[in-house]
Amino acid sequence: MIEKAKENLRKAIWVARSLYDRNKTAGSSANLSFRERDLIYITGSGTCFGNLDEDSFSVVGLDGKHVSGMKPSKELPLHALLYKHAESVGAVLHIHSFYATLWSCLEHGNEKDCIPSYTPYLKMKLGTVGLIPYAAPGSAALFDAFEKAIGDSDGYLLKNHGPVVGGKDLMEAYFCMEELEESARIAWELRKEQAAAI
């Protein structure tokens, strides 16, 4: 188990650095986690995806109780809710990527599937993307709204905030997040083109 956790820490550091180096997140705004049996390894409060190391993580129980390491991200409850909802979820990723965040600021008719399927890949990789009503980051109101929406969609956009996805492991969550961001970029660019043509 210790070796598996160390391997996942290395993957988590790689995923975070890849996203940071390609401007998919900035500063200390993102967080990620993975599950090892009854423990959650989550990036610590105030950490930056650009310089994570093995000491940048907090270890907590599924009940949120701190076990070891630094103070966990304030958005730990988002991660814990996804793990609680489905045992198949082994990793969770939350970032503030540019196009997904832009898309989250718009009004959408279908809040259970708010990103259009202009290409087949979002549905193939992730599925539907639900829009969670706005509440302040790290607030009980946000966690309550998120809990109410879990199960209605496969991935989530926090309104005026950014995307949250889960996966069976870190790499699946990473690939799903990449596809969500790319699909939001395509939707945004097509929206601009359509507006310009009017």
Predicted local distance difference test score (pLDDT) of residue 198? 67
Catalytic residue positions, numbered: 75, 121
35 by Cβ neighbours in 10 Å (0-12 / 13-18 / 19+) ranks as buried
Please tell me the CATH code under which domain 2-197 is placed: 3.40.225.10
pTM, 2 dp: 0.95
On the question of pLDDT at 1 being above 80, the answer is no
Percent of the chain past pLDDT 70, that is, above it, reads 99
Tokens of residue 115, six digits: 């990103």
Average pLDDT on 1-13 reads 88
**CA distances to 10, 77, 82, 167 from 13, in Å:** 5, 21, 21, 17
